[in-house]
Chain A
Amino acid sequence: MPVITFIEHNGTEHRVEAPVGSTAMQAAVNNGVPGVLADCGGSCSCATCHGYVDEMWTGSLSSAKADELDMLGGALDMKHNSRLTCQILLTAAMDGLIIRLPESQI
């Protein structure tokens, strides 16, 4: 199972394991990572699962689809490496993925 590291805005790291095929958002929620609210449960409707994908990884993830990009427009502090973690499907190759979290989701 790939291991993902979420880094909260205050620097606290959370290393979590998650099954292939689940989403980065589920990995965060299932392990109680503070800072990923995921209000809509992953239907790409709320933008409260926003995270920044580490620069080393931005190239290896499939790019965001139109509705994700549209919703990201409403996330706080959007950056070039912003993603909605509910739209990141985990593969075996994503072992080691690092996602930093914004200061606030709402």
Chain B
Amino acid sequence: MSNNPLIIVGAGHAGVEVSVAAREAGWNGEIVLISEEKHLPYHRPPLSKSYLAGETAVDTVVLKPASIYERAGIRLLLGNRVESIDRAARNVALSGGSELRYERLVLATGGRPRTLPISVLGAGQVRNLHYLRTLDDANRIKSQLIPGRRMVVVGGGYVGLELAALAVKAGLMVTVLEAAERVLARVTAQVVGDFYAKVHRAAGVTIETSQQVEGFELDSSGANIVAVRCSSGDLFPADLVVAGIGLVPNTELASAAGLTVADGVLVDEFARTSDPAIYATGDCTRYFSQLYQRSIRLESVPNALEQARTVAASLCGKQRRYDSVPWFWSDQYDLKLKMVGLSSGYDQVILRGDLSERSFSAFYLRGRRVLAADTVNRAPDFLVAKQLVGAAAEVDPSDLANPAISLRDLLPSPGRPPVQQPSVAR
């Protein structure tokens, strides 16, 4: 193999996809995929769903078996952290002390859980407080998911609610503490948040809103939380606490190397950073969305994969702009939620379907423009919504609410075949 090394930092969804797709797209030099984690790269979504629930074995969460990397000539360096980048010398320094030269570098460093402030934690390290990002985190939580125990989930976002759903099914007593006035407040309309809260309560989950966690009561050894204290004065007994309060992008490596960073490594539509030899992809990036005319940072698998495919194309001299429609899924109980678009700035929400039948969609509109949609157990709506959102379509809100009118008829050019990734600038 010719010696034009491609180095990829981080082997999550984004990094792995770059490695394989770059080889397929014709990168003929060395490819080195570096991960600080020790496990073969794996899927994260099951960590708060089937894997943690014990329904999925560890080998089915693996993204690709080791043989795939071997066959594609991808050198996978597990348990190795990239400590710094020397852009002038085009070198990266690894935690073990060695250095590797790159022709092109890809940052796919993802993010880490936002942690509770030190003041909340109190002194020392406790054994039963967890965050959930990695397989190791999931395994630690799994070992403490014991029927009859009390689990407090801090944060009523998707990860927190997925955890609550699986823990209550596993026989734990679950309390969700949410600082806002309702769950899913940052991402969904009131009707959708309220619907989810109702489903969780019916399943036995206690949901406490407007509860700001202030501190923990520890046992006499100081190693275990026994209760969570809120600023309201309420105390919630706990055998185990999991906090799901957001993500911090891993951008330190990029900042230290002098790349442009602003809550995410800044990239253009070809996933290039401010250094032409360095690309970035996935949760760690921020870019300008043509669709929404503003800078965004997404945390989702489809974003990580699609942007990674753009990196692979760029690396091999092919033009492939990335500006696809954001989407995300979340499975809780029997509810398959799929969201598309970004809802911020909406002025009305139009419902289609029936909440009581657990099958409905909420469309977020600004004026007549469809900004986003949340669909619950309605995949066909999701697929059309993706096109409506991608086309920045304008619709008559009353048509949207009218079940007698097919959603497809609201598409700008009726009858055109469904497109998977409708994007404005492709």
From B60-68, B81-89, B207-215, B236-244, the one touching the partner chain is B60-68
Asked if A32 meets B329 with Cβ closer than 8 Å, knowing A39-B301, A67-B336, A76-B418, the reply is no
CB-defined interface of B410-423 with A at 8 Å, one 1/0 digit per residue? 00000001101100
Question: Is A30 interfacial (CB-CB < 8 Å)?
Answer: yes
Interface residues of B in 41-75 (CB under 8 A from A): 43, 45-46, 49-50, 60-61, 63-65, 67-68, 71-72
- Nearest CB in chain B to that of A29: its residue: B64
- The answer for the CA separation of A75 and B338 in the assembled complex, in Å, is 16
- Interface size of B in residues (CB-CB distance below 8 Å): 34
Contact A76 B420 (CB under 8 A): yes
Give chain B residues whose Cβ lies under 8 Å from the Cβ of A32.
64, 67-68, 71-72
Q: Are B301 and A47 in contact (CB under 8 A)?
A: no
Interface size class of A (residues with CB under 8 A): 20 to 34
Q: Are B43 and A30 within 8 A (Cβ)?
A: no
Q: For the complex, give the distance between the alpha carbons of A34 and B60 in Å.
A: 19
Q: Is A71 an interface residue (CB 8 A)?
A: yes
Chain A residues contacting B50 (CB-CB under 8 Å) are 43
**Would you list which residues of chain A between 22 and 39 have a CB under 8 Å from chain B?**
22, 26, 29-30, 32, 34, 37, 39
Minimum CB–CB distance from A23 to chain B (whole Å) comes to 9
Alpha-carbon separation in the docked complex, A51 to B305 (Å): 20
Instruction: Provide the residues of chain B in CB contact with A34, threshold 8 Å.
Output: 24
B77 contacts partner chain A, Cβ-Cβ < 8 Å: no
Q: Is the interface of A mostly helix, strand, loop or mixed?
A: loop
Q: Please, which residues of chain B bring their CB within 8 A of the CB of A63?
A: none
Query: At the interface, yes or no: B331 with Cβ under 8 Å from chain A?
Result: yes
Q: Which residue of B lies closest to A30 (CB)?
A: B65
Docked-complex contact B45 and A67, CB < 8 angstroms:
no
In the complex, the answer to whether A45 meets B420 with C-beta atoms within 8 Å is no
A35 to B380, CA, bound (A): 23
On chain A, the residues within 8 Å of B336 by CB distance are 44-45, 67
Chain B min CB distance to A101 (Å): 15
12 pairs across A/B with beta carbons < 8 Å?
Answer: A30-B67, A30-B68, A34-B24, A37-B305, A40-B45, A41-B61, A43-B331, A44-B336, A45-B331, A47-B420, A74-B379, A76-B418
7 A-B pairs closest in CB distance: A70-B379, A74-B383, A41-B43, A45-B329, A106-B420, A32-B68, A71-B379
Q: Which residues of A contact B (CB under 8 A)?
A: 22, 26, 29-30, 32, 34, 37, 39-48, 67, 70-71, 73-76, 105-106
